[in-house]
């Protein structure tokens, strides 16, 4: 049995990761300050004697004896990370320093949940890990984009200078149950609007693309990445390479929900990427052939059912 620390453990992805780690026979410490996470996401885990919930902000040091660390703490949707940009970048940078310090002290491997946002509005498509990105360092999204880029730098620094065992996962658009109703990301926005009979809000003309990964596939990738040989540090892209336009996604969700919603168009936000699709060749090479298994329609149906139950509660 390993004792595993998950920061941001009551968040969307973190809650799924905590559940999987417990199911695999581990002891889990879930650390969260509930800025975007929710106790509702981990309520069913609270009765497990091997699950420990700690209210803590990782911009402050935390001390525990652990065998592995997954650093997921940070608001990940534009609505939330732009609400308090200083707090966002402090979480990415100071949080990374604190968790890396802990990993160094207890000699534990640590995985950083980085993001496809490090690529910015990419000039290379699809995006391989070798691409350095096209990021506006002073734009409205920079608190998140540059915070995550700096966190990657810190991870590599602690690895090369102090020998800390690190893993960096660049996570592309992920969706599924436990997303916040007010998450602000496109999948949850469209589903909630469709279920409530509201018009679906399209930013731009809807031709911009994203690749959508179901959360179970992501958790599979994170677990395999953590168990790779120490020489594998990443970054490694984890995402679904199947690409959809916003219009295609909106129409699929309207069909699946049986909604009579219409599409309404608004101006594209500043620095919003036009294209986003991962090159997952490295992940397939290093992670025992890992690739997403859940098709968009199947994953959307699970997510729609979750929101139906949540909104009717």
DSSP tally for the chain: helices H, then strands E: 9, 13
- Give me the residues paired with residue 3 across strands: 27
Helix (H) or strand (E) holding 143, with range, is helix 142-162
| Domains in the chain, number | 1
Tokens of 131: 């691409």
Can you tell me the distance from the alpha carbon of 101 to that of 87, in angstroms, rounded to the nearest whole number? 20
Tokens of 304: 């729609």
Q: Does a structural domain hold residue 31?
A: yes
Instruction: Supply the CATH number for residue 23's domain.
Output: 3.40.50.720
Residue 66 pLDDT class (50, 70, 90 cuts): very high
**CB burial of residue 50 (10 Å; 0-12, 13-18, 19+):** middle
Q: Where are the beta strands (DSSP E) in 183-230?
A: 200-203, 209-211, 213-214
What pLDDT, in 10s, does the model give residues 148-164? 999 999 999 999 999 99
What pLDDT, in 10s, does the model give residues 27-39? 999 999 998 899 9
What pLDDT, in 10s, does the model give residues 166-207? 999 999 999 999 999 988 889 999 999 999 999 999 999 999
Domain span including residue 131: 3-174+215-240+278-293
34 is catalytic: no
**CB burial of residue 162 (10 Å; 0-12, 13-18, 19+):** exposed
DSSP state of 199: P
Residue 83 has pLDDT above 90, yes or no: no
Residue 129 has pLDDT above 80, yes or no: yes
Catalytic: which of 144, 158, 175, 214? 144
For 7-14, what is the mean pLDDT? 97
Q: Does a structural domain hold residue 193?
A: no
């Amino acid at each position: 049995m390993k004792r595993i620390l998950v920061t941001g453990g009551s968040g969307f992805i973190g809650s799924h990761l905590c559940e999987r780690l417990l199911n695999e026979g581990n002891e889990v410490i879930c650390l969260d300050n509930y800025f975007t996470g929710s106790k509702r996401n981990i309520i069913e885990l609270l009765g497990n004697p091997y699950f420990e919930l700690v209210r803590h902000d990782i911009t402050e040091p935390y001390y525990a004896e652990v065998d592995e660390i997954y650093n997921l703490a940070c608001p990940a949707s534009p609505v939330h990370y732009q609400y308090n940009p200083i707090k966002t970048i402090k979480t990415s940078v100071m949080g990374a320093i604190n968790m890396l310090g802990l990993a160094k002290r207890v000699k534990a491997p640590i995985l950083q949940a980085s993001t496809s946002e490090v690529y910015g509005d990419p000039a290379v498509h699809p995006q391989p890990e070798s691409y350095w990105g096209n990021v506006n360092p002073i734009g409205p999204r920079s608190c998140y984009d540059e915070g995550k880029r700096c966190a990657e730098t810190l991870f590599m620094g602690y690895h090369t200078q102090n020998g800390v065992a690190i893993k960096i996962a660049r996570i592309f658009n992920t969706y599924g149950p436990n997303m916040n109703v007010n998450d602000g990301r496109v999948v949850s926005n469209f589903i909630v609007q469709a279920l409530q009979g509201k018009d679906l809000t399209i930013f731009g003309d809807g031709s911009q693309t994203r690749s959508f990964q179901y959360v179970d596939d992501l958790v599979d990738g994170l677990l395999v990445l953590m168990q790779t040989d120490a020489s594998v540090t990443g970054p490694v892209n984890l995402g679904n390479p199947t690409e959809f336009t916003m219009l295609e996604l909106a129409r699929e969700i309207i069909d699946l929900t049986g909604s009579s919603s219409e599409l309404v168009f608004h101006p594209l936000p500043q620095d919003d990427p036009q294209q986003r699709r991962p090159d997952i060749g490295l992940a397939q090479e290093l992670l025992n052939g890992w690739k997403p298994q859940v098709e968009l329609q199947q994953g959307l149906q699970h997510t729609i059912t979750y929101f139906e139950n949540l909104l009717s509660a």
